[in-house]
Structure 1
Amino acid sequence: MPKRKAKILIVDDAQINRIILCELLRDQYQILEAEDGKKALEIMKEDKMIDLVLLDIVMPNMDGYQVLEKMKEQRYLEYLPVIIISSEGNTTSMEKAYELGATDYIRRPFESYIINRRIKNTLMLYEKQKKLVHLVEQQIQKRVNNNTTLINVLGHIVEFRNGESGLHIQHIQTITKMLLLQLGKKSHEYKLSDADILLISTASSLHDIGKISIDEKILNKPGRLTKDEFEIVKQHSSIGAEMLKTVPNYNNNDLLEYAYQICRWHHERYDGHGYPDGLVGDQIPISAQVVSIADVYDALTSERCYKKAYSHEQAMKMIVDGQCGVFNPLLLECLCDISEEMKASLFENENYADQAVVSKMTDELVIKQFRSEMPKEKNNESQNRKFFQEMTFEYDAFKDAVYISSQAAKDLGIDEIIYHPKNHEFSFFNKSTIKLLKDKLKETTHLNPEVDLKIYAHIGKQKQWYHLQASTRWNGSVYKGFVGKLVKDNNIQVIHNIQENISLKYTYTEIKDFIESLKDIFTVVRLIDFQKHQSAKAENDQIEIIEGNCYDYWKRKDVCVNCISKQAYIKKGQAFKLEFVDYNIYAIIAQYVEVDERPWVLELVYKTKEDIILGAHGKTRFLENIVTYNKEYYTDVLTGAYSRRYYEEYVQYINDVSAVAMIDADNFKAINDQYGHNAGDQAIKAVSKAIQSCIRPDDIFIRYGGDEFVLIFQDIHYDAFTTRLYQISECVKQTKVDDYEDLSLSTTVGGIYGNSKVNDAIKKADKLMYEGKKSKCSVVVKKTSEVD
């Protein structure tokens, strides 16, 4: 692969000086020229691939010292070395240049050997420095990553309980990081390193952790809080801070210290009118000041149970005008500076859907959870195979070119350099693959440059699964391209074969061989007879029953509540889930099979190698987080409720629920006929919103079909259930539809109470709903024992 020439910018108002340097350096380097300081800064802004600046001091309009000051202000000097070349040879000039950030100082006249040697030394020094910085950043990133997963889970628990958008934590982190980066460009007062910025943006996830202790009824109250209720809510900042302070090793952990500052003081205001301590000005830590603005902005632009979302422009005006309290004037300037970039970034994140994640089943999440930890197959094929196995490559964003390793290019019969790859016929670097990579690369930064995904593509003569690992290249915070490695992934291929091509019928010999091929990948491979709760193995020329029950492996005393083998058996297909035992997480794939015409379920279990320390409450929330992660796939687009798909794939297998309600929007057909389908859509949305305002975050709300909804309560008393259904009925009646003020809404509700299977309960609730329609009774509630 040809090595890229370093690029040097020569800045001098004297043309003769520029000509001399150009002639001297042209053969070894790429050369850019600027006749004054202002033009030089414009070039630096446009071209992020510059490796070195040769700068004169005495120039009109903007001298060399002023250029250095601007470069320091814009943080160019963090990654771009500057050598001063000037006839000014006095000590004062040299000292001032070094103080402003110059790397070296060369006096005119100079010898060609000297300037060549010092340029080479400077470039070599900065290249080594970049590698060292990169290594340090990687270590910082790894250390922070050890905490990030748990922190985000905890943050999302609060979101889920508080009824907030699943994007709230992500938005807070994004805005916090952008504000801190802009603050660093605008002022050096707070002396924030890249490591500090990373820690603060990560810690921002815990800003509302104290809300765990606040009553859900108050947190999710649709109307205005009373004075007493608001005082209770205000306690969350000090409660959360105390929770964090009691964590072991708090005093030796920078991340926890930032989290404490943010949690306790993110509701303080610059003029002293915040809470809990009434701090003024910079008594408030800068971490808390920044998160405070981020939190207010996202609260304004997000819909809540008590208000509609404001537009970006409205929210900016309200914050800058002081309608949400007084903030640090410098931070408000930073907010205005990043306004458009922030708006675009949040919009992209909100609408981003990674196709490798939003897939047919939660199996994608299972694979992602453990694919990187899977051991390699023992029976590797010969290293002398003739077809493609591995390729390293580099993408240069400036040239829009891909450089491919020599051996891979030779094996595939393609050029080592591919210019404009999205237009190239070679399938891996085609338009769709480039787009997938670009979507992933949007999430990277110079502090977190890694990309890890799987690709299913034709490379050479075969279509296969490949594991792609890439690392983006940066000049400071400026994106330059990426380097990567593409490897045939046999483990993912085996899983893909299980998912897509598995046979349903086997002889004993075939199933035995198949199980043996899977044992090198999975922790446990076994056959399950879910009806007898037995597990079996293929040994000694027959299927042998293993002593004990299949659920003994999970340390249970009784049958699993949500038996995955039962799901696979009923569907005559596949089912997937995560199982928690002690502090271990197990990923499970279950597949219905027939062995010599007898039905079994093939169960594949993989135990993760990492310990994820979650309490019993955290395990439940972690599962809910996984479902939330696939929200787009399981959410009804019109109403925001869960979709019928979610019911079919998950909910119908729940064996024990407290109560179920079937809700039908009255006169829906008449609304469509009289007002049109747009009015019908708006009416269904309004009904859904009214229902959701009356239920708890843990209740399962599904759009069952058309104008019918299902509500599932897993833990509720009879009186509370009855009260909730009447509350829903009344709330719908009081709901108005935008642009159709004369349109009246109502529902008929059938509710069944008593522990039962979901499918059975829905049938009974549906029957009660139709009883209500016949008798013109808006709510009919009965206990299971009262219904045939």
Structure 2
Amino acid sequence: MEPQDKIMLVVDDMELNRAILNELFSSSYKILEAENGKEALKLIEEYGTSIVIVLLDLIMPVMNGFEVLRHLSNSGLIEEIPVVMITSESSEQAILEGYNLNATDVITKPFNPDIVRKRVENTVELNSYKQHLENKVQSQVDTIEKQSQELEKVNNFIIDTLSTIVEFRDVDTGQHVKRIRMLTKVLLYAVVSEHREYAMSEEDINVISSAAAMHDIGKISIPDHILLKPGKLTKEEFEIMKTHTTKGCKLLDSLNYVKTSDYFRFSYDICRYHHERWDGGGYPDGLKGDGIPIWAQVVGLADVYDALTRERVYKPAYSHETAVKMILDGECGIFNPVLLDAFLKVQDIIRLDEELLNEEMPSASMSVEVLPEEKRKDTQMAALKERTLWLLEMEREKYRILAELSGEVIFNYDLQKDCVEFSEKCREQLGCEEYIENFSAYMEKNICVYPEDRQEAEKLSYLPKRKHPNGRVQVRLLTARGDYEWFEINAYVLTSNEGAHENIVYIGKLSNINKQKLEKEKLRIDATTDNLTGLCNYKNVKDMIRKYLKAGHGGVGAFVFIDIDDFKAINDTFGHLAGDSVLKAMGNELKKLFRSSDIMGRIGGDEFIVFIKDIDSDILLAKKMDELLRKVENIRIKEDNSCRASVSIGLSCCPRDGKDYRELFIKADKALYDAKHKGKNQFTIYNAELETRGHATVLTKFD
């Protein structure tokens, strides 16, 4: 790469600093300059990974260096563009935060130009080597995958050859192996997508589908007069025919093959058990239920369906509808209800695949009319076009049915055309059309994304710039019912170049996770909320007050410690239900009297804390406490109004009486004790005189 092909971005609000760095590196790099983080992000968006390094200052107006690092981390670009912080901020905390945000190196000002130049060159060189290594590893992976695919083709050819030898003895076409393999794969996908108890990987499904070709390998040992008999077999002949399952297993056992491999295990199970039935009415071992391996059950159903819909020496071919009815009626044995349900859901896919596999090509022995060269080419092109259309239609139908089975909304969004295509589920879940033009305007007009979640959704716009262009976000979307529910959006970006234009297409799915989100939120609320009053529990209220005080907020507020008078007597005299009723009423009064921004919680049996934010007037506090005392007096313990509740209140003020939670709690506790000592049903605001009076603190009970 030529020096001027390498781009360096220098980000610093001081023009002099930028000039120094420009002069230092201009002979080796093309220099871009930005005076704040916002300008830097615009340049990074424009130039992308053409920028080989960013020299970033921390303290800047508009947007500081830490915010730039967060944006680059969220977009994934930090993995591809190294960032070196050059700053006068030398505190360990700032440097550590920079490294935590994935900065590659930190250089403090003032710096030695020669050392900086060398450290930057090393960083660029290491990143270049890393990219080269990643590309090389990916190239090796691609090569291995290609070799693996070629090896799989050879293996399939050998399997098909062996299996077809058996099939030709059985007077079937060589297509039987392909049909069984196709039917097995489609049925397995349908079963595992609906039933976790039958979970298996895609690799397992591919191996099982390949092993399905071995299901009738044992027929090679069945005499021709039985195997090819055009009529019904006698009882003795059928018993011999049934031995093809065990003889096939003996044949597999005799092969010099690793018997612990998945392929051998699947082949053996399929060969032996594909004639077993759900109710135990099959052979050779009379297994029943899930005692039969699911892969053998699937191949058994595929084999029965294929036998019914093909002409055999002993029967004509039945239609798809007739075959399905015979299977459901149990005329071919009883199958797993789960398997039958999956079979019905994918029968359209099976029929399409069958039609494609049944397309017969002219054999070499057939006489062909000699056509002029041009006409022959037209005929070939027409045939090719027709087959292509069939293939496209089949894939479209598979896509539709699988999308329907998944219960998710599949989407395809063209960024340049600004149009989106959804699967059919979009009407049911989102209440929108399957195809929408001017999608950006549609989203704005209908407020499809919950306003607070728009920033999260916009993360997907960074995907085209990432090395691995896939991502996932969780946002609330407008549903067909008119409310917002939580969805997880999984998206992948496909790019292609047409002329001078780059086409960007997002494909992915929308999964409704509202139920999981609500359950998680309920668990969070249960863990942080007092169930009886609906206020915060002690741990939560303590954490919230500490967080508020630590954040500063001007250091103004009041710590209110409330205790219900004679609460034990209420429980002892009127019972715990009456006591609970008083606690609930107390919680309701606090919610009505104080702002939602204030912090309120029940911290013990009859004790409450309220932290009133942004209040610094004792007069206003006194007025608020008088109002609270009056409200509490309206809480009736008995219906006849003969007994009413009251509270004692202690207050401390921030920052006058302290700036941390513990200090404010201790002083509010002393004020509460004073209010109790004076006769209850009143409040005391902390003052220095209270320090001269001894009292028992409740703080140790909670802290």
Give the structure with the larger strand fraction: 1
TM-score by length of 2: 0.35
TM-score by length of 1: 0.32
- Which has the larger Rg? 2
More contact order relative to length (CA 8 Å, sep ≥ 6)? 1
Give the structure with the larger helix fraction: 2
